[in-house]
Amino acid sequence: MSITIPTLSYELNTKVRKYREAKGYKQEEFAFLIGKDQEEVQAFEDLTSDSSYDINYANFYARILQKLPKDMFFINSFEEAYIKISAKKNINKKGIITYKGTGIFNKKTTEIESYSLPVNPEYDISAKDQELILEILENWLREGYFKDGVTGYRLYQDLLAKAESGEIDLLNSFRPILVCRAITTLCNKRKKPKLLPHRKLPKSAEKWLLYKEDV
């Protein structure tokens, strides 16, 4: 499959994916932290798709990945404004997607570094881990933490800050997926108090919300 994509978009997609993996974040986790659906992140990191992370938020991605904005692009960018990529993806029996392809850069055809991503990654977490985070967020919900809205990234950072100050105890296995799943549970509760996605923001002041950033 062939696509044409802006050069900087290709660079940003590549850099974010590499830094995300180095940081240990899975696609679902990174999607939660940047306020996107997992399917969107999957498309951004699909070499056969012309979807892209938003260049306007490169500094935000860099902050999450603990990098500088300039790190989100190649040191030596390509000359053309757009590049043409011919690539294909294969899924093996173990559920691993492998991307391979070539790109026309500076009017020359170059082989692109291949990479692989798991379809359904495994997380080294336990039910105890999940129960702990859910209990903490349920308490915060009752205390009014979510009343004014909060992004996934802000919530994750607040948990880390509280743990560092000794106000809460987090297990060594703490990671974004635990927060993401706890939020899903709180949003799906039948009884109040419960969280509501931003797109369903209620008019009554007594209800709660989780702000899902639409960036």
Phi, psi (degrees; rounded to nearest 5) at 9: -65, -40
Q: What is the pTM of this model?
A: 0.90
Asked whether residue 61 carries a pLDDT value surpassing 80, the answer given is yes
Phi, psi (degrees; rounded to nearest 5) at 130: -65, -40
Asked whether residue 206 carries a pLDDT value surpassing 80, the answer given is no
pLDDT of residue 105: 77
Average pLDDT of every residue of the chain: 89
- Between residues 54 and 203, the one the model is more confident about: 54
Asked whether residue 173 carries a pLDDT value surpassing 80, the answer given is yes
Name the DSSP class of 60. H
Q: Which amino acid makes up residue 5?
A: I
Helix locations, the chain, DSSP H: 7-23, 27-34, 38-44, 58-64, 127-143, 152-164, 176-187
How many angstroms separate the CA atoms of 31 and 146, rounded? 20
**Banded model confidence at residue 183, pLDDT cuts 50, 70, 90:** very high
Mean pLDDT of 21-25: 96
Mean pLDDT of 113-125: 93
**Banded model confidence at residue 213, pLDDT cuts 50, 70, 90:** very low
Percent of the chain beyond pLDDT 90?
70
